[in-house]
Chain A
């Protein structure tokens, strides 16, 4: 728990203070140093325009992590809303909402998302919403299960007896007590969102230039694999490290 939290904090801080850490500006061309292999001057090498890959990875991390976090937030809001209503209201509403959740889970979401991104050519905020829309189902299930199991608790009965309204019971009592499980699901959702964004960007329909994320850096790297392998290596390592620490953190929080 401590170790994964530490690494996650390190990655997050590196992304936040990227302008201070980056040895070069991420978009500045250095035509004398094109396609340079990793060295002390350029830790992660340079690309075909002479841009420093290490600096670009730091700035790309800001985009990847921001899109991941915000998409997971969208997913969490949707998931908690669906799960709380389903769990609290029960009956037909519950059946309908959970059937819909299962249905969305069995849709080819990545492919739909790729077509959506290709046709809509979303800006960054729109991309966040799109990625969030396909990521709420797990949180909805977790929230519903937690709310249902708490529904007959004494504190809920007491709150109802004291005259608390539905919104107050759900918001102040049920969700607060379910927050542990919701948090675990939300942390996992951040990792998944980062992976989804990287896949979209890798296929050229996600983050668009001049902005760059780790995924879109890999998109550009693909055509130069045999001559500049470092371009494909480092952004991928960043994705794996971030997603792996997020997974480890949610596993640890789960126990």
Chain B
């Protein structure tokens, strides 16, 4: 637990830094946060003044930052500029959809990456290995949002097999699964590609190790060699990298959710971006920074648990 406490302490300056950047950016908005009202003939100057005082915009920037930060830590995240509801409520109500998507894509990425990595390592330099490599190489070159558009074109518009967007929360299990498939696959694709490459490299290294030759010499069968001896050793370093990578699922979800209109926190972010809803954007930046820190911490803890040597 010492590790967890140390990591949490290290995260504080990072979060302060992100909050200062985000807060500073909002000061640079041309026309300020009340810009939308400036051109509205129905809003009188005295209304603007009242709004400015109500939102605390008449105080100095330093004061505003400190009071914002103090309130944020207490869980008072302010009210959305676009609909006046508490920001915390708006984010919390979107969480289940995002967690569902993240969990689905994590499962999907792992169940694609592990077999692909094993097959590529075992059949090294074969046609199968080269094909997996090619797909994996494509994974880092294809923009997530474009992959999403192409899947929509193919499976929703051309073939009509899957709904092009939304979550279908009212439907039955199978209907809901149809909505989940494409966004989860898009979010999983890049990660599955990278992870299969890590596993391939790691497994090739382990397969060449002396203890593998010893196992084979003792007459251990090919399958047992792979599952009992090679895989556990090959997976530990992969798990470490994969878990660190998993933190990237958070910003990835923003892109994927918007393309598929998946009603999670990610599309809340792009909606807020479009409406210049600054209180929501600020809170989202903080939440995603905290999420990345938490993901990294979990990665460290799991890695230390899988491979006790790392703690020493």
Contact = CB atoms under 8 A, between A and B. Distances in A.
Interface of A: 103, 106-112, 114-116, 118-121, 191, 195, 198-199, 202-205, 215, 218, 221-222, 225-226, 229, 232-233, 236, 239-240, 243-244, 247-248
Interface in B1-45: 13-14, 17-18, 21-22, 25-26, 28-30
26 contacts: A103-B13, A103-B17, A106-B14, A106-B247, A106-B296, A107-B14, A107-B17, A109-B251, A110-B251, A112-B22, A115-B25, A116-B25, A118-B273, A118-B276, A119-B26, A199-B143, A205-B273, A218-B146, A221-B149, A222-B149, A225-B157, A226-B157, A236-B143, A240-B146, A244-B138, A247-B137
Contacts of A106: 14, 247, 292-293, 296
Contacts of A107: 14, 17-18, 289, 292
A233 B150 contact: yes
A199 B157 contact: no
B196 interface: no
Given A108-B292, A112-B285, A119-B26, A244 B254 contact: no
Nearest to B296: A106
Contacts of B61: none
A109 B158 CA distance: 35
A243 B29 CA distance: 33
Secondary structure type dominating chain B contacts: helix
A119 B281 CA distance: 11
Contacts of A115: 22, 25, 273, 281, 285
Contacts of B152: 225
A247 B140 contact: yes
Interface size range of chain B in the complex: 35 or more
Interface in B257-307: 258, 269-270, 273-274, 276, 281, 284-285, 288-289, 292-293, 296
B153 A225 contact: yes
B143 A108 contact: no
A38 to B, nearest CB: 14
A232 B153 contact: yes
A108 to B, nearest CB: 4
A218 B149 CA distance: 9
Q: Which of A120, A203, A215, A243 has the most CB of B within 10 A?
A: A203
B238 interface: no
B255 interface: yes
A103 B213 CA distance: 42
